[in-house]
Chains A and B, each alone.
Chain A
Amino acid sequence: MSAKANDLPRPTDAELEILTVLWSLGPSTVRSVHETITRRKPAQYTTVLKTLQIMAEKGLVRRDEKQRAHIYSASRPREWTQRQLAGDLLQRAFGGSAASLMLGALSSQRASRKELAELRRFLEEYEKGTP
């Protein structure tokens, strides 16, 4: 099983986009995937359909054919792909400098275990404070 997981090819950019939509929406029809994509950029319905079919062949998505409109779902959780893409050379080499170029609500550094414990304490107190 794990061998099969490793066999899955790294998704192309177009495939990654569709995977992202599927992770965001959950199992969806081609139509709703297409609708979500066209909200961001123009895309042909047939292109989306074709890409999904290729992805199903590769094993990146699963197809549920029980209903008339086929339902597609991502075959792996998004954590899997994140791990895959973290192996991307560009990301690995320049992730640090990229992170310092982005502005976020959180610092790009993850909290340490000790800090997390403190955060959790704070949250518990907060929830107690606001019934």
Chain B
Amino acid sequence: MSYLATWIHSTAAQALGWTLVHFVWEGAVLALVLAAGLWLFRPRSARWRYALACLALAAMPVAFAVTLAVTLSRQPAPVPMPPGPIAPLAVSIPVSAAPADTFTLAQVLDRLAWLVPFWFAGVAFFYARGMAGWMAVERLRRRGVCAVPPGWQARLDELAARMRLTRPVALLESCLTDTPVLIGYLRPVVLLPLGCLTGLSAGQVECILLHELAHIRRHDYVVNLLQGGIEGLLFYHPAVWWVSRVVRAERENCCDDAVVEIMGDARAYAATLAVLEERRSLAPQAALAATGGSLIERIRRLTAEPRRAHASAAPAVSAGIMLVLFAAALAAWPAKAPGQHRPHATLQVADAAMQVAAPKPQDGRLALRAAIEAPYREWLSPDAQEPQAQPLTDAERRAGEKALREELATPYRKWLNEDAAYIITDEERAAFVRLQTDEERERFIESFWLQRDPTPGTVENEFKEEYYRRIAYANEHFAAGIPGWKTDRGRIYITYGPPDEIEDHPAGGGGRRSAEKSGGETPTYPYQVWRYRYIKGVGANVVIEFVDPTGSGEFRMTLDPSEKAALALVTPPRTYYFASREGPAVLVVVPGRHGTAGQAGAIGAANQGLIALDREIANTKIELDALLKDYAPEHPSVRRAQEQLQRLEEGRHAMVVEDGTAGPVAPVIVVVSLEESADGFHVFGEVTTKGRKIVQTFEEPVQGSPGRQSVAKTIPLAAGPYHVTVVVKNLATGAAQKSELDFTVD
């Protein structure tokens, strides 16, 4: 006791006591600022409101720490220890709320520090409780769980791939939870209550899984832990609990929005949540009991018709109170003098401490209601985006809109450059980049998939499903340092689907060379050979080889089978040259390759080059757009971007793919790849030396059929510079187009 009494009179304890009291008004101000902010930004998206609430919550411990530091620096030297009897007497005072006017200022000042031990005890209690809760949750990973049917785990992986999650997520059934939950951050597990998979439709289960995956993508588990830490530290202030509740509510709203963004049907999703809640109400209370939140509000929010935000008195009142409080606090803070404030503050602390069990401040609840009811997402209410009559300055609004644009631009850019990168056409890409609002983009994406739906009448879009399945498969099977969809195998798999035949040589080993390659043994790296019987637009019996020269698991597409030979792999990297040409054909020259596999490789390389080019063009366009928003068209960086864009777009029409490996007499493949057209074509080609001496000519008709068509010719050439001229004649219109390229065989 005497030790405690001594400590109580130390500078630190005094400062902490003061800080605890000061935080009463600081916390209130922060909460009111948040309430006002939520009211001002009520037409904003849940993401915005969530960020705002998180900011307010994070500001609370910061305010506490700053106050402590300031108070410590201002604290006078410790008072000499008072005579013994005073201490036990003082214990009862702050909490017993005796009439304040019987104390002198000095007495109150002295006794403020007695709050500190109680605060410590509270913090210890909340942290111990949190720790135990965490252990209980971790136990749920292993206790009373059961593996789900394999199909569901695969489905979850697919959805995770669609969400671009890199961490593997486990899916288990649990008999200990009564609602689907997500546990863990580094090794996330989704637990479904038993019977959930059989009791709900597949679409409904997917909605729920997407919701949990959205939590993972948003790192909510970590934020939630931090939130628990703040709650425990400042447990005595109801405002902290209220702000924390707002964070939780908005977090769920954010995830709801993410699900609806992907699934598209807000009402079906809301129905899923309702069904889930109904199922839960039938079961007995599960092992895990409960805290806060309201489902009905979420469902109203998801399904609400666009509503004009109605004027409500509550937020205005809160804002008024906030201003008064803030002004009073500012006035009181530096002086720290007027004796009236202090006993009042102490009483408030005692009051607050009693409220910890049920922290529901009246004004807070009103503000929360107003905050939850007011906003509806942009996709639900287009008119909510119209300029509001808020007293926002122009600068603030512009800053807000810019931030919002940047935030929203990301998922669409991702869609353009990742999701649809391999299948979107130039026209579509150009159209998409020009779109102004997210609604237009949403509609574009919807019709993008609809156009490709092989059975437009049905709900299912087989094409889209297959496409995303391929992405998921690629991510699952081909990832190696880089995501699976970015690897060569992933690209081919996504573009052309599963091959008809895979020849796998995981150990590489001594590949027996065929007779025409002089026979004998050549040590090789691990490699795979994929055979497609037919690829539309490319040709029949296409063979593509992938080699893993680094042993990292990332197989790279080779242009020629001989490249898998370890010796041949010491080659300079491929280079691409772009030259300007107009018209429907793409001319590709690949020196140093021969055979069917080589042709397929050349076509593949051409496509690869085009895809890379397309992606670069799209990125440059986005960059240019962004620049134009900030700078005038004559600004040097805008001009540079425009020039680059022009160069890239010119390169789209013709390109040379050159590979450094070639012998003294190198076979050269000339590929003429025609853009999609149902017309028949006739292709004439002529390869000459620099001195215009004809080396070889060729002539080939191309049958009219939809899809990309290619003509490939293999020509043996000695080292030296060459010139190739190709004329493509459209048999239907009679229009002819000439393409010319210089290339070098060395």
Closest residue of chain A to B274, judged by CB?
A: A119
Q: With contacts A20-B174, A24-B146, A101-B224 known, is A109 near B292, CB below 8 A?
A: yes
- A95 close to B (CB within 8 Å): yes
Contact with A along B523-535 (1 / 0, CB 8 A): 0000000000000
Closest residue of chain B to A100, judged by CB?
A: B291
Cβ of A119 and Cβ of B295 under 8 Å apart?
A: yes
- A2 close to B (CB within 8 Å): no
Contact with A along B306-339 (1 / 0, CB 8 A): 0000000000000000000000000000000000
Cβ of A109 and Cβ of B290 under 8 Å apart?
A: yes
Main secondary structure of the interface of B (DSSP, over half): helix
- B residues near A129, Cβ cutoff 8 Å: 267
Cβ of B278 and Cβ of A108 under 8 Å apart?
A: no
- A3 close to B (CB within 8 Å): no
Q: With contacts A82-B286, A116-B277, A126-B267 known, is A16 near B175, CB below 8 A?
A: yes
Cβ of B179 and Cβ of A95 under 8 Å apart?
A: no
Among B67-75, B134-142, B537-545, B688-696, the one that faces the other chain is: B134-142
Inter-chain CA distance A29–B144, complex, in Å, is 19
List which A81-105 residues lie within 8 A (CB) of chain B: 81-83, 85-86, 88, 90-105
List which A27-70 residues lie within 8 A (CB) of chain B: 36-37, 39-40
Cβ of A108 and Cβ of B291 under 8 Å apart?
A: yes
- A residues near B28, Cβ cutoff 8 Å: none
Cβ of B142 and Cβ of A13 under 8 Å apart?
A: yes
- B residues near A96, Cβ cutoff 8 Å: 133, 289-291
- B225 close to A (CB within 8 Å): yes
- B residues near A120, Cβ cutoff 8 Å: 274, 278
Cβ of A105 and Cβ of B145 under 8 Å apart?
A: no
- B residues near A105, Cβ cutoff 8 Å: 179-180, 208, 211-212, 255, 273, 276
- B residues near A23, Cβ cutoff 8 Å: 146, 175, 194-195
Which of A78, A103, A122 is the one whose CB lies under 8 Å from B299? A122
Q: Interface residues of B, CB < 8 Å — how many?
A: 72
Main secondary structure of the interface of A (DSSP, over half): helix
Which of A36, A92, A104, A107 is the one whose CB lies under 8 Å from B182? A104
Distance to closest chain A CB from B308 (angstroms): 22
Q: Tell me the total A-B contact number using a CB cutoff of 8 A.
A: 211
Which of A20, A106, A118, A119 is the one whose CB lies under 8 Å from B144? A20
Cβ of A91 and Cβ of B288 under 8 Å apart?
A: yes
- A123 close to B (CB within 8 Å): yes
Cβ of A91 and Cβ of B287 under 8 Å apart?
A: yes
Q: With contacts A78-B194, A86-B285 known, is A101 near B144, CB below 8 A?
A: no
Distance to closest chain A CB from B138 (angstroms): 9
- B residues near A119, Cβ cutoff 8 Å: 274, 277-278, 295-296, 299
Cβ of A95 and Cβ of B295 under 8 Å apart?
A: no
Q: Interface residues of A, CB < 8 Å — how many?
A: 53
Q: With contacts A17-B145, A39-B150, A123-B278 known, is A98 near B136, CB below 8 A?
A: yes
- B95 close to A (CB within 8 Å): no
Cβ of B142 and Cβ of A116 under 8 Å apart?
A: no
Inter-chain CA distance A40–B281, complex, in Å, is 29
- B147 close to A (CB within 8 Å): yes
Inter-chain CA distance A2–B321, complex, in Å, is 60
Contact with A along B264-303 (1 / 0, CB 8 A): 0001101101111110110111111111111110010001
Cβ of A108 and Cβ of B129 under 8 Å apart?
A: no
- B220 close to A (CB within 8 Å): yes
- A residues near B284, Cβ cutoff 8 Å: 79, 82-83, 86
Inter-chain CA distance A39–B149, complex, in Å, is 9
Inter-chain CA distance A130–B622, complex, in Å, is 40
Cβ of B144 and Cβ of A17 under 8 Å apart?
A: yes
Cβ of A90 and Cβ of B132 under 8 Å apart?
A: yes
Closest residue of chain B to A108, judged by CB?
A: B290
Cβ of B175 and Cβ of A81 under 8 Å apart?
A: yes
Inter-chain CA distance A111–B283, complex, in Å, is 13
- A residues near B288, Cβ cutoff 8 Å: 91, 95, 98-99, 102, 108
Closest residue of chain A to B265, judged by CB?
A: A130
- A residues near B278, Cβ cutoff 8 Å: 116, 119-120, 123
- B residues near A99, Cβ cutoff 8 Å: 133, 288-291
Cβ of A82 and Cβ of B175 under 8 Å apart?
A: yes
- B215 close to A (CB within 8 Å): yes
Cβ of A116 and Cβ of B281 under 8 Å apart?
A: yes
- A4 close to B (CB within 8 Å): no
Distance to closest chain B CB from A40 (angstroms): 4
Closest residue of chain B to A97, judged by CB?
A: B133
Cβ of B194 and Cβ of A98 under 8 Å apart?
A: no
Q: With contacts A96-B289, A122-B299, A123-B274 known, is A104 near B146, CB below 8 A?
A: no
Cβ of A123 and Cβ of B275 under 8 Å apart?
A: yes
- A residues near B137, Cβ cutoff 8 Å: 98, 101-102
- B587 close to A (CB within 8 Å): no
- A residues near B163, Cβ cutoff 8 Å: none
A-B contact pairs, 5 of them (CB 8 A): A94-B135, A100-B228, A101-B225, A111-B277, A116-B278
Chain A residues close to B by CB (< 8 Å) = 13, 16-17, 19-21, 23-24, 36-37, 39-40, 78-79, 81-83, 85-86, 88, 90-111, 115-116, 118-120, 122-123, 126-127, 129-130
Given A17-B146, A105-B208, A116-B281, 19 more pairs with CB closer than 8 A: A13-B142, A16-B143, A17-B145, A20-B173, A40-B172, A81-B175, A82-B176, A82-B286, A82-B287, A83-B284, A101-B224, A102-B183, A103-B220, A105-B273, A106-B277, A107-B291, A109-B291, A115-B294, A116-B277
Closest 3 CB pairs of A and B: A107-B293, A97-B133, A39-B147
